[in-house]
Structure 1
Amino acid sequence: MQFHHHGYVSHDPRVLPAEGTGLDRPDDLPDEVDVLIVGSGPAGMLLAAQMSQFPSVVTRIIEKRDGRLVLGQADGIQPRSVETFQAFGFAPRIVAEAYNIGWMNFWGPDPEHPENIVRTSRTEDYGLKISEFPHLIVNQARVLDYFAEAALNGPGRIVPDYGVEFTGLTVHETGEHPVEVRVNDHGTERTIRAKYVAGCDGARSGVREAIGRKHVGVMAAHAWGVMDALVNTDFPDWRIKCAINAEAGNILHIPREGGYLSRMYIDLGEVAEGDNHQVRSTPLETVIRRANEILHPYAIDVKEVAWHSVYEVGHRVTDGFDDALDADRHPRVFLTGDACHTHSAKAGQGMNVSMQDGFNLGWKLGHVLTGRAPQELLSTYAAERRPVAQQLIDFDREWSSLMARKPEEISDPQDLATYYLATAEFPSGFMTQYGPSMIIDGSSRQELAAGFPLGKRFKSAEVTRVGDGNVVHLGHHAKADGRWRVYAFADADAVKLSSWAESVEPLFARYTPKDGDVDAVFDVKAIYQQRFDEREFTDAPALFRPQTGPYGLTDWEKIYSAAPTVWCHDDIFEARELSRDGVVVVVRPDQYVAAILPLDDVDELAAFFEGNLLPAS
């Protein structure tokens, strides 16, 4: 990580200097804010951490609970989420704490004694097969803790306002703060005025109701019990993720962090017509008994249940993700996470997709409120995230149906394992692909960088840093700081690259604040085709050697080499199918590929940014 460029730092460098609203931040909730986040779940806390990187924006997050979440319901962390944690600076710590899913085993009825279960297959998990990041299990409460730390340590010093309950809102047509939000602040009814509101308040969202949006979908007539339990057992796969299909029902078994705790989703069968949700009152003892019936001939001796619940599978998507009911109106209120999509928990998607909602929205709010981008940018949130939610519902409906089958409905005992691996890219979070818009250049030259699909997240690869010869992942240097990334992959002799660098300096300067660092908006990097020891750092164009901070110190971490060395075995040009004539890859602040352009067409790059950014004032 980089620090000291604003002066010597002796404390934890992860704690950034307070700026703007982070200086003398008032303890009490103010009457006027720029952004009001309602709810401190995964989407809300990520959004707060992102907005802390925009300290000139007044952001507050309210939560009706009295304090931090103690025990979260969600626990599955997909590789795309770990990639996001890397951008927020805490991936290594949460990986060390979490349970790493290395395998998924499948169990079914013993053909000779069908009342018993037997292991039918062992399957490697998809996480590290398709990403450098693992597939994890960790308590949602700990994920929120890490994002809370990132929000507090950011320049904006954002902390949740606990004990404040949302009670309603009205969006006015005029006014600098047109959203009138009614809250109960520790027993006192108050009104807060906001420019924008993010409803991150869960499946029973009051914000959703206030803007007249509706959940569309149905509840499936199937119930599941779920429990986090500490047990003694003779079941041999207790510390391996398992899908268990038995004559008595089904179990999805997921080991939890810490080495002892595990979660079980236990099939409670079809819900009777007219049940009116009475199944949700099923006693814990019944859920445990059911689990033992399914596990036969094995058994669990439950010592403690940390949390349990009973739910009916539901698949719903809200009819709109913001309050813009017609195309002529700019949105002011946004819905994220469970407020706009709900589904079963068994595919491990809820928290993951919710966090990507927050990541998508956060930098856009920051850009608009700091004058970097026009207000039209905010309309891309709903346009991009609602199709993703629908894809999630479709996937979860199929996975839930497969999990709930009876043995006699299964013709091939291996088909669940086959489906699990064949669809891995979707649950891992890597299938999301945004279509052309003001921030996805539809005229991009995809053939110049086939391994960086337009609209998909930037898939990192190893390169060698020219300044010190260290091997690093190119994408891991991209932090969630609201900046655009521009990767300039050089032509063979770097002649085009040098010309490109000289030509684009005025373009980038047009959008960079006069009082900001030269790379405050654009983080521009060069990747040469030669070995690192065949390039001299000081020979590179000045664009890639910016001088930042009050001392104007040279940044030594923007110039890289692609050629393999004893430490770096891959060539990113080959790994990502990049043109040897050079190519420019533009990546959004939320890590999605926005444009792919040739080195000799600066006008097209200028036109792209002209469509989504405003000149610096």
Structure 2
Amino acid sequence: MAAVEPAVEYADVLVVGGGPVGLVTAYQLARNLPTSAHRIRIIEKHPKSSQDQYGRAITLFPRSSEMLDQLGLAEELAQQCFACRHTVNYDKDGKEFPGRGWSFMEQMKDTKWDFALVLRQKYQEEIFKSALRKEGVELEAPWDLKGIEVIEGAGTGGYKVLAGIENVETRVKKVVKCKYLIGADGGRSFVRRAMNVPFDGSSSEDKWVRVDGVIETDLPKPRTYCAIESPTHGNVLWAALDHGATRIGYAFTAERQKAYKEFNEEAAVKEAIASVKPFSLKFKQVDWWTIYVVGQRIARSFFVKDCVFLAGDACHTHSSGAAQGMNTGMHDTVNLGWKLSLVLQGLAKPDLLSTYEAERLPNVQKLINYDKDISRLMTMQLPENWKGDPDADPNEILGTVMAEAATFSSGLGIFYEPDTYLNLLQGSGLSSVQPGQRAPDVSLQKPATFEPTRLQAETPNIARFYIVLFVGDIALTKPALAAFTKSVANSQWLFDSKYPISWISIFDGPGGPSAYETLGGMPFGRVFYDEDHSAHERYGVSAQGGAVFVLRPDGWVGTVVEMGARAEEKLKRYFGRFLRVDGKARL
């Protein structure tokens, strides 16, 4: 009897992996692309058990929360999370030792999301799946990716990828032909291995244990992000979780391992109790536990054959020492999502996709470098290549390293290097916020109603750029604004609805009864007022000069130009590098 050929199905994008990174990637594409013209699919191999779902990643830092807020996802996370704003560090005798451990978390300012959003992966995934479902896409599980073939010569925009998939339960086989495939399938990524992408780095001999559950304790400040400097279990993590639970994490040293022929849940709990001494600990309920080997690895490429991407743990793995795993994955998916959306719509040139790796790889390398030091110090070892005092206290050095990495860990200081493409320098002295840096969230006031709002709330990530005019004091900047208006007046492309561009005008000072009368004409786009001058001050824009910012869809600054006669020329220079309409360069 002849073998039955697998059914062939089509999709614009196949996302492999149903964790947070895969779900948010699929959500962005489904949200940004018209469903009548594009099909997004996402598959997951494992029908996850409750134990798997409860554990894993727990913490989103401010920049990740900001990015999810601009995607319309963070509010639901905040409904269920434990919002952690307080930290404490205890020495081996149980005395508070300020300035060490997680103390940097109390300095995470300049954002509405000025806390660690702690919500276990199980609950995050439920929120992301629900949001994805509302966009018409259902997570398909359990489907296993069995093979990938890239068709050479398929041409730009063609179905370049043949993905063989199999239902784990029914053994039904299918072939999905897609334009792009995204591997968000974890540290043992099949996609990465199938594409022969080297995974550089190493695993150490260090083992760590994590235990989640409901506890009783005499620790004085249990509902915090806490570090305990244990002489036997390294720098112990104590993290207050959602739904009243707590996570205990500790180093399982070679010396402690000798006591166990088999390491099971009972042993994990026993060691957790020992790790937090001199404090008492009792588990009323254990939700989840794991033991794993600490290591750092990074894929040599994040984008292969112009059609296959890697994101999240599939292209970088590290310890949980700095709690950056899911955060780094969120930075990956948000960077990739809008770029792929614009290319699929024919609004951007395919070259734009190469900037995903160019921007993310250096930041992942920074994380790996930090993590190597942090993970060793948390295991009471000095960093490799340490040139300081060989008898230095690892806890003291850890405090210094964590403080140095603070803005990177919070995400608020992560930036992309200025270049000649997406982060374009076109003048100096216009502002203190430069291309490639995060666009700070600032308080604004709506016209007429004077309702308060925020810049990030008014610039959602829907794969559109925002041209933001900081108009300054209109009484002083009218000549510059008039020159700007004249400059862009005949530039139809700047206002063509085919282009993914929106306009915003921010006036320095309190609002009047009519934006038209304040300006003496129609303003550019939506109008907001900087009542207390704080927005202009935060961006370093003078009330006398103003400035024009281009904000990328993902909330980073693309370029800054003066509000004057050459503005149209410089905006065209910026957008002309990557935008197109109807498949033709039109700028």
Shared fold by TM > 0.5?
yes
CA distance in 2, matches of 1:247, 1:72: 26
1:429 and 2:407 are equivalent in the alignment: no
Q: 1:504 aligns with which of 478, 481, 488?
A: 488
Residue 130 of structure 1: how far off its partner (Å) = 4.3
1:605 and 2:583 are equivalent in the alignment: no
Letter in 1 for 2:207: A
Name 2:371's counterpart in structure 1. Answer: 396
Residue 312 of structure 1: how far off its partner (Å) = 1.2
Name 1:119's counterpart in structure 2. Answer: 96
Q: 2:237 aligns with which of 230, 252, 256?
A: 252
Q: 2:138 aligns with which of 142, 159, 165?
A: 159
Is the partner of 1:118 in helix, strand or coil? coil
CA distance in 1, matches of 2:394, 2:62: 29
Name 1:215's counterpart in structure 2. Answer: 199
1:583 and 2:564 are equivalent in the alignment: no
Name 2:160's counterpart in structure 1. Answer: 178
**For residues 142-184 of structure 1, what are the alpha-carbon distances to aligned partners after superposition, in whole Å with 9 as ceiling and x for unaligned?**
2222222332334xx2221222111110111123211111110
Q: Is the 8 A contact 2:296 2:368 kept in 1?
A: yes
Residue 614 of structure 1: how far off its partner (Å) = 0.6
Q: Is the 8 A contact 2:335 2:356 kept in 1?
A: yes
Q: Is the 8 A contact 2:377 2:395 kept in 1?
A: no
**CA separation of 1:498 and 1:139: change in aligned 2, threshold 3 A:** farther
Q: Which moved more, 1:402-411 or 1:262-271?
A: 402-411
Is the partner of 1:490 in helix, strand or coil? strand
**CA separation of 1:616 and 1:530: change in aligned 2, threshold 3 A:** farther
Letter in 1 for 2:181: V
CA distance in 1, matches of 2:254, 2:22: 34
Name 1:191's counterpart in structure 2. Answer: 175
Is the partner of 1:463 in helix, strand or coil? strand
Structure 2 unaligned residues grouped into runs of 5+: 1-5, 383-389
C-alpha RMSD of matched pairs (Å): 2.8
Residue 370 of structure 1: how far off its partner (Å) = 0.6
Q: 2:16 aligns with which of 13, 20, 38?
A: 38
Name 1:337's counterpart in structure 2. Answer: 312
1:360 and 2:335 are equivalent in the alignment: yes
**For residues 404-441 of structure 1, what are the alpha-carbon distances to aligned partners after superposition, in whole Å with 9 as ceiling and x for unaligned?**
11799554865544543442101111232212446424
**For residues 227-268 of structure 1, what are the alpha-carbon distances to aligned partners after superposition, in whole Å with 9 as ceiling and x for unaligned?**
10212222223222111112222211111012x210111111
Letter in 1 for 2:117: L
Letter in 1 for 2:109: K
Aligned pairs, how many? 549
Is the partner of 1:354 in helix, strand or coil? helix
**CA separation of 1:292 and 1:488: change in aligned 2, threshold 3 A:** same
Q: 1:488 aligns with which of 466, 469, 473?
A: 469
Name 2:429's counterpart in structure 1. Answer: 447
Residue 530 of structure 1: how far off its partner (Å) = 3.1
Is the partner of 2:109 in helix, strand or coil? helix
1:82 and 2:65 are equivalent in the alignment: yes
CA distance in 1, matches of 2:493, 2:518: 22
When normalised by structure 1's length, the TM-score is: 0.83
CA distance in 2, matches of 1:538, 1:43: 47
Letter in 2 for 1:424: A
Is the partner of 1:86 in helix, strand or coil? helix
Q: 1:563 aligns with which of 521, 531, 534?
A: 531
CA distance in 1, matches of 2:269, 2:55: 21
Q: Is the 8 A contact 1:436 1:442 kept in 2?
A: yes
CA distance in 1, matches of 2:489, 2:7: 42
Residue 358 of structure 1: how far off its partner (Å) = 0.8
Q: 1:131 aligns with which of 107, 111, 114?
A: 111
**CA separation of 1:380 and 1:294: change in aligned 2, threshold 3 A:** same
Name 2:385's counterpart in structure 1. Answer: none
**For residues 573-616 of structure 1, what are the alpha-carbon distances to aligned partners after superposition, in whole Å with 9 as ceiling and x for unaligned?**
12221133121110111111110111122201111111110135
Q: Is the 8 A contact 1:225 1:309 kept in 2?
A: yes
**For residues 334-371 of structure 1, what are the alpha-carbon distances to aligned partners after superposition, in whole Å with 9 as ceiling and x for unaligned?**
00000000000121111111011111111111111111
**For residues 555-575 of structure 1, what are the alpha-carbon distances to aligned partners after superposition, in whole Å with 9 as ceiling and x for unaligned?**
xxx1011232xxxxx521122
**CA separation of 1:530 and 1:498: change in aligned 2, threshold 3 A:** farther
Q: Is the 8 A contact 2:53 2:121 kept in 1?
A: no
**CA separation of 1:467 and 1:423: change in aligned 2, threshold 3 A:** same
CA distance in 1, matches of 2:149, 2:262: 37
Q: 1:308 aligns with which of 268, 289, 296?
A: 289
Residue 309 of structure 1: how far off its partner (Å) = 0.5
Q: Which moved more, 1:593-602 or 1:86-95?
A: 86-95
CA distance in 1, matches of 2:400, 2:454: 31
CA distance in 1, matches of 2:277, 2:212: 20
CA distance in 1, matches of 2:39, 2:255: 48
Name 2:387's counterpart in structure 1. Answer: none
CA distance in 2, matches of 1:355, 1:412: 30
Name 1:460's counterpart in structure 2. Answer: 441
Residue 48 of structure 1: how far off its partner (Å) = 1.1
Name 2:211's counterpart in structure 1. Answer: 227
CA distance in 1, matches of 2:482, 2:120: 49
Letter in 2 for 1:148: K
CA distance in 2, matches of 1:269, 1:100: 32
Q: Is the 8 A contact 1:88 1:150 kept in 2?
A: no
CA distance in 1, matches of 2:448, 2:10: 47
Residue 137 of structure 1: how far off its partner (Å) = 0.9
Name 1:384's counterpart in structure 2. Answer: 359
CA distance in 1, matches of 2:447, 2:545: 20
Is the partner of 1:193 in helix, strand or coil? strand
Q: 1:241 aligns with which of 222, 225, 233?
A: 225
Q: 1:524 aligns with which of 500, 503, 511?
A: 503
CA distance in 2, matches of 1:429, 1:159: 30
Name 1:298's counterpart in structure 2. Answer: 279
Is the partner of 2:571 in helix, strand or coil? helix
Q: Is the 8 A contact 2:437 2:557 kept in 1?
A: yes
CA distance in 2, matches of 1:463, 1:537: 18
**CA separation of 1:512 and 1:271: change in aligned 2, threshold 3 A:** farther
Residue 472 of structure 1: how far off its partner (Å) = 1.3
Q: Is the 8 A contact 1:79 1:127 kept in 2?
A: no
Letter in 1 for 2:534: D
Identity score, percent: 26
Q: Which moved more, 1:183-192 or 1:438-447?
A: 438-447
Residue 538 of structure 1: how far off its partner (Å) = 6.0
Is the partner of 1:560 in helix, strand or coil? strand
CA distance in 1, matches of 2:22, 2:451: 36
Is the partner of 2:140 in helix, strand or coil? strand
Is the partner of 1:395 in helix, strand or coil? helix
Is the partner of 2:429 in helix, strand or coil? helix
Q: Is the 8 A contact 1:266 1:287 kept in 2?
A: no
When normalised by structure 2's length, the TM-score is: 0.87
Structure 1 unaligned residues grouped into runs of 5+: 1-27, 111-116, 325-330, 515-519, 546-557, 565-569
Q: Which moved more, 1:200-209 or 1:422-431?
A: 422-431
Is the partner of 1:460 in helix, strand or coil? coil
Q: 2:84 aligns with which of 95, 101, 105?
A: 101
